[in-house]
Chains A and B, each alone.
Chain A
Amino acid sequence: MLLRHTTDKIIEREALTVNPAKTCQPVGAMYAALGIHGCLPHSHGSQGCCSYHRSVLTRHYKEPVMAATSSFTEGSSVFGGQANLLQAINTIFSVYNPDVIAVHSTCLSETIGDDLTQIIAKAKEEGNVPNGKYVFHANTPSYVGSHVTGYANMVTAMVKTFSMKSSTKKNQVNIISGWIEPSDMREIKRIANQMMAKIVLFPDTSDVLDAPMTGKHEFYPKGGVTIPELISTGDSKFTIGLGPLCTLDACIKLENQCKVKFDSLELPIGIQATDTFITALSRAAGVQVPDSLTDERGRLIDIIADMQKYLYGKRVALFGDPDTLVPLTEFLVALDMKPVYIVTGTPDKTFEDRMASILSTKVPEAKYKAGERADTFLLHQWIKQQGVDLLIGNTYGKYIARDENIPFVRLGFPILDRVGHSYFPMVGYAGAMNLVTKILDVIMDKIDREVPEEKVELVM
């Protein structure tokens, strides 16, 4: 057994996390910053942070992930990291010439209390930020929240830094994207395009982290929201935030800063959440929902109706980030599956309520937990107590899946051992079709592999 020391006997823990269902803030900030065109993320801390974050993002996307670091040594930890960041800004603009540097802090620079606002101002004063170029920052202490918090903080920093209200309103809707894949961001733009709704999507990692092979390494790939687009978000007529944990703060900031009203929605994963998103976008942009999207929806419903036999009543365990887990749970319930165990390491005060509203009548036996020690060790212990028919989560789930022989769908961050997640969406109706197909594939593959020979079915 891979996880041979995991048993069904649960001993209450107050301090120890085992096999976490989260990681730390800066990686989220780095990912979000890659969704700005021409942006180089910069990690203000020890080299290891930047190296680890680049590594995990690279393994997840199998794409170049460029980012720089302040390379703290013991001296910088004692005297502060100002000199390091000033030198970094100078070196970066000389060598890598980005449009913008997005600095995020780390537990180290936060603990010693480096004032990034002041250091960046000093860099500008000293003439180390060329004309027309930008340096901005987000505070992302690793000991608060999770990678999701870091993403949210970087997105909020984008609004704070760039969104500006001019005298003329623009006939466009802001869509602030929660933590989803480049494929999902591309899908959201496709949906908006079908609806003929003019949108500004940010951050937008499509065409950044799914760049084509051309024989040239584009240090700044063609994708990403541009700075003029970001600035223009202050003139938009409305904002839709997708995934409250990642985007609500940014929505509020944008409203306060530029008086742009907003709707904070769940990520459009599954039928209902996509319905809600499309309805909201249609209203906000003042456009009709085209038949083509209604047809897509119909095709999704059709697949589910056809394959109900393999979904109905199946017990599911899932782990990941709250903004993904909530609509995903709602979708699983719509499939008449039973999401019985759910954990996220990300603290989220609204998680209990959001989950209860979905699960309390349909799956009253469900157990769910968010925050410290809501880890995959606990999830596995629950599974040991009573098994499940499906596991959904990031790559680390495969150790549980193998030990317990559970069909496993990879969804979330990071996915280190498969491709596809960055190319095929999970949002929208098309994404839901993709998701339900994956679920069916693993469940039905297991049936094919394990039923007695005389029970093998040709047609299923």
Chain B
Amino acid sequence: MKTKVTMDPERWKAEVLTKYPSKVAKKRAKSIVVNEGDEVKQIQANIRTIPGIITQRGCTYAGCKGVVLGPTRDIINLVHGPIGCSFYAWLTRRNQTLPPTPDSPNFMMYAFSTDMQDSNIVFGGEIKLKQAIREAFEIFKPKNIGIFSTCPVGLIGDDVHAVAREMKAELGINIFGFSCEGYKGVSQSAGHHIANNGVFKHVVGLNDTPVEGKFKVNLLGEYNIGGDAFEIERIFEKIGITLISTFSGNSTIDSFEQSHHADLNMIMCHRSINYLAEMMETKFGIPWIKVNFIGADATAKSLRKIAQYFGDAGLAAKVEEVIAEEMALVAKELEPIKARTQDKTAMLFVGGSRAHHYQELFNELGMKTLSAGYEFGHRDDYEGRRVIPTIQIDADSRNIEEIHVEADPTRYRPRKTEAEIKALVAQGLQFSEYEGMMTEMGKGALVIDDISHYEMEKLVEIYQPDVFCAGIKEKYCVQKMGIPLKQLHSYDYGGPYAGFEGAVNFYKDIDMIVSTSIWKMVKAPWQKESVIEAEYAL
């Protein structure tokens, strides 16, 4: 039987820090915060990882190509670099997609690379890149090609943007490049920003053909892992909400091109996509609100926000009808499960929003989140957007382009008058706001940014949570310690977890995890009975 130790979190922090060299300890101390509850404390985030500490983080390329552009099916994502970067981002993020017909373009099963060789490093890779684009066009006839720069590209000075312009003129299709070399920034986060910029500059607003629909929205920061987008689409369809585009789960470049026709942008993963929402608001006048479709209650709440925004009685009624219908099914499934999950504990260390969003689902299961943190979040994701003006911009953030955006002279159209916005705010609808993770976490919870492997093992060892949530690199370490780990990047190949049906899937999976028999058989019978060994010893 597990013995649950309750160690004061401040003591845990102090003990963990003693292991580090003094400079490292000093730096890590600012990234480990014991939550106060009412008053949100400052946490250090989005700064360089300490070399050698064993981090969860990946690189800028992963954030750009893998996360943001990866789930879009009608574009050839050509990786300019040695083969590895393309290989590792090949289908590994589980972005599902559903082309409307068997003939619709879908390049997501393919990995495209210039496979740079040493001669390309020495003499430059632009000629090879151009040739690769020509070949991709000739063989696959895509309407769009994106070029993704890997580490050596920036160093040897290949100009992917010039190549993109030249090839766009030559081939007559949309071609654009991303300077998302792995070393830029301090984590995947820089890559999200670069991807947002590229999509905004080169794609959004290209198609002015109006889109039919009474309640037109975009969903931003939803990547259709395990079919999450399908479930959200199902709910929207049922309610009568027109989803023009999702950035970027189950998406197409075609849909991005028309996304400026939406009347509301909704942000799921604030970290990876808030830049695009901000830019679209400035240029086209589309307001954005923060939503969360992870958790049945959170989904209901988000749907009500949409109804509130549009202020249409029919829509509001339909939303309530759907919520009532879906929640009845959810409640029926949840009840027997909750009996088994109530009062169990969880820890979440993942991503830039999931460690927050998934606490909703654990709350619904009656489980307590003891500790959480992001892999690549910023202070605003922890403390709320109100701290943005106080965040110091360091060298690593400064080298990521901030696009200067102005209102479009012909297409800017405020969706609501100032008075209408004011009225909605008075009713409690928040625009351009995200409260962050810490406000919703309990007093005494440990909030840890960019957790190291060592800190993770110490958390598990001391607090013995019933479920630990992280990614594939952490999974088997934690499980070797006898604690089940739920992957929240890949969902352990399950899902969807979004929306109402997704919530039920999650309840069932957590039920399975905390009820799995095999964990009780880790010790062999003769290992449990050390007494016998002693008795028979000579």
Contact = CB atoms under 8 A, between A and B. Distances in A.
Binding between chains A and B: yes
Interface of A: 1-5, 11, 13-20, 22-27, 42, 45-49, 51-56, 58-59, 62-77, 84-85, 87-92, 94-96, 106-108, 111-112, 141-144, 146, 211, 213-218, 345, 372-373, 377, 396, 399, 416
A217 B480 contact: yes
B132 A16 contact: yes
Nearest to A55: B472
Contacts of A71: 48-51, 55, 57, 186
B109 A3 contact: yes
A107 B152 contact: yes
Contact of A143 (B118, B457, B475): B118
Contact of A47 (B58, B115, B481): B58
Contacts of A107: 81-82, 84, 116, 121, 150-152
B446 to A, nearest CB: 19
Q: Determine the interface band of chain B, counting residues with CB < 8 A from chain A.
A: 35 or more
A20 B86 contact: yes
Given A15-B129, A65-B473, A108-B183, A213 B522 contact: yes
Contact of A46 (B20, B24, B182): B182
A399 B92 CA distance: 14
B88 interface: yes
Contacts of B57: 47, 51, 71
A329 B410 CA distance: 65
Contacts of A22: 83, 87
Chain A binding surface SS class: loop
30 contacts: A3-B109, A5-B140, A17-B112, A19-B110, A23-B83, A46-B151, A47-B59, A48-B60, A52-B88, A55-B88, A58-B475, A72-B182, A73-B48, A74-B184, A77-B181, A91-B20, A91-B21, A91-B52, A95-B454, A96-B54, A107-B84, A108-B155, A143-B118, A213-B480, A214-B522, A217-B457, A217-B477, A217-B478, A217-B480, A372-B117
Interface in B29-81: 48-62, 78, 81
Contacts of B166: none
B12 interface: no
B477 A144 contact: no
Contacts of B150: 107
B19 interface: yes
A111 B151 CA distance: 9
B62 A48 contact: yes
A96 B52 CA distance: 9
Residue from B21, B151, B471 with most neighbouring chain A CB atoms (10 Å): B151
A108 to B, nearest CB: 4
Contact of B182 (A2, A15, A49, A217): A49
Contact of A15 (B82, B92, B114): B114
A20 B113 CA distance: 8
Nearest to A14: B131
Residue from B19, B87, B92, B399 with most neighbouring chain A CB atoms (10 Å): B87
Interface stretch (B100-108, B255-263, B346-354, B435-443): B100-108
Contacts of A88: 51-52
A214 B522 CA distance: 6
B233 to A, nearest CB: 21
B67 to A, nearest CB: 12
